[in-house]
Each structure stands twice: as C-alpha cells, then as structure tokens.
Amino acid sequence: MAHADAVESMLRALLDDRPRDGEVARPSGLLQAIRHGALGGGKRLRPFLLLESAALFGATGTAPLRVAAALECIHCYSLIHDDLPAMDDDDMRRGRPTVHRAFDEATAILAGDSLLTYAFDVIASEETELPAERRVELVTRLARAAGLGGMAGGQFLDLAAERETPGEDGILRLQAMKTGALIRFACEAGAIVGQASPADRERLAEFGSAIGLAFQLADDLLDLTSDAATLGKAAGKDAAAGKATLAGLHGIEWTRRQLSGLMDQANDLLRPFGEAGTMLRTAARFVIERDH
C-alpha cells in the first residue's frame, strides 16, 4: 500500500468512535470536525519522510506508521489553528471549507487541541510496539519540534513579523521553527524508530532541516512568481500579510540557486545510503521542484 493510503487508514482507525482506556466518550460533533481537518487530503509529506527514513534502517510496519500518523495529527492541528480568524483567517483548505467555516470557531480550536494531545497518546501507547525509552525519546523530540521552541514559537514570530519586519537571520530562524522543525523531526524520528547510529540520526536530522528550508523557499518562490504574474505586488512581501520572505529579499534567481544548493546538500547527506536513499532523494526533488 502506498504510504499516503497507509497513513490515511491508520488515521481513520485512530479517529474511530471507540473511547480508549481512560477516555470517557468521544463526542461525535467534535470527532466529525477532527475528521474533516485530518482525513482525506494533504500531501502527507511529513509521514512520507518519516516512513522512508525509518525504512532506511529496516523499520517498517506498525511502529513507524503510528508515529507518522501522530506527526500528521500535529500537522493537521497546526493547519486548523493557522486558519482561524485570530491567525490567517482562511475560508478554504485542501479544497474544502476550513474547520471553523464548516463547523464553528470553538469547535475548530477544540479539534486542534484534541489532535495535538492525541499525537502524544498515539506515540506513547504500547500499541506503538517500540521499547518505552524510544517512545519517550520520540514524545520529547516531537514536543520540542511542535512547541515553544519549534512550530508554535515560530508561528508567534511569524505573526510578530507582520508588525516588525525581521532581518534575514530572523526570517531564517522563524522559518526553521514554524515549518522546518516538524520536517526535521519527520526525518530524525524515522532514524529513532529504526535505531540508527547517532551519526546517521544526525545525518537524517540535517537532511530534514535542508528539506524544511527548501519547502519554505519553494513556497515563497511560488508566492513571489504568482504575485509578479498576477498581482504586481511589491517584491519581498507575502501576498496576504505583507510579510518579508527570503525569496522576496533576494529575488527569483537567488532563490532558485539556493534551492539547487539545497538539493545538492540533500544528495550529499544521502550518499552513504546508496540506492536505499532513492525515495528520500525523490521526496527532496518533489519539495524543491514543486510548482503548485
């Protein structure tokens, strides 16, 4: 089964109606909102990276799949909250109304909260079929990637950047936190699940950082080229929020050179794995060359 289908089935199973040991009940209205935000859409990039990173070290089956599904729960929570009126105030996501549009704002907040906490439950559970210390390591790393010093902190800095434009280092830092941290975690977590050596784990984490930066640069480049083509907006400003981006500061050609340098870096980091790294190389190319 393709990774995206396997992740979808795992998420569906995890988000069923049956209360787990220690839960009282799963309110159907909240569950519907959660399913709306988490099922049936998205590229499932982070789970793909996690599953392929784990496979490099021979880890397949339930353990990596549950960790990948947990990571996607965190990603979906972040999108549900990012779309709220207090943040980006978006009406559509993945071709469908956002959760607060399809339901209401309070339900969207609670759907995000539930997905966030459920992710840690899923990893920590014995059903994840990993030794306890590895589950603790994954929970700790994911909490750090998603929280104050990672994605949530990066989102805070990103919102603050609308009021005061950060310098280049500030933009790099906020992007490494907001989008980079979960992508880095995806690759490092695969190495943790697969019990990689410390050197290989670091290699995978660095690969994840390179992909995370490329993901953001490619996104900014798409904004920039569509702005230039359709809106005539000032270069360097995010179309919706007037935020500075590296692509905007340095221009289209510089950004393309950076992306090509990141592809080289990704290839160098994967070289020791030979043929086994092919799927991760393909994922890197997909991130770097995506045009929508």
Tokens 């209360």 belong to residue: 19
Residue 255: both structure tokens together: 């950004």
Among 239, 237, 261, smallest CA distance to 249 is for 237
Under the binding rule (CB under 6 A), the answer on residue 81 touching ligand GRG is: yes
On whether the CB atoms of residues 47 and 71 are closer than 8 A, the answer is: yes
Cα–Cα distance measured from residue 239 to residue 197, given in angstroms and rounded to the nearest whole number:
43
User: Residue 142 or residue 151: which is nearer to ligand GRG going by CB?
Assistant: 151
- In the complex, which residue's CB is closest to ligand GRG? 42
Q: What are phi and psi of 93, to 5 degrees?
A: -150, 135
| Nearest approach, Cβ of residue 78 and ligand GRG (Å) | 4
Q: What are phi and psi of 7, to 5 degrees?
A: -65, -40
Choices 59-67, 78-86, 252-260, 276-284; region in contact with ligand GRG by CB under 6 A: 78-86
| Nearest approach, Cβ of residue 93 and ligand GRG (Å) | 7
Report which residue type is found at 268.
D
Under the binding rule (CB under 6 A), the answer on residue 245 touching ligand GRG is: no
| Nearest approach, Cβ of residue 7 and ligand GRG (Å) | 11
On whether the CB atoms of residues 85 and 100 are closer than 8 A, the answer is: yes
Q: What string marks each residue from 165 to 184 as x (binds ligand GRG by CB under 6 A) or -?
A: -------------xx-----
Site of interaction with ligand GRG (CB under 6 A): 42-43, 45, 75, 78, 81-82, 94, 151-152, 155, 178-179, 219
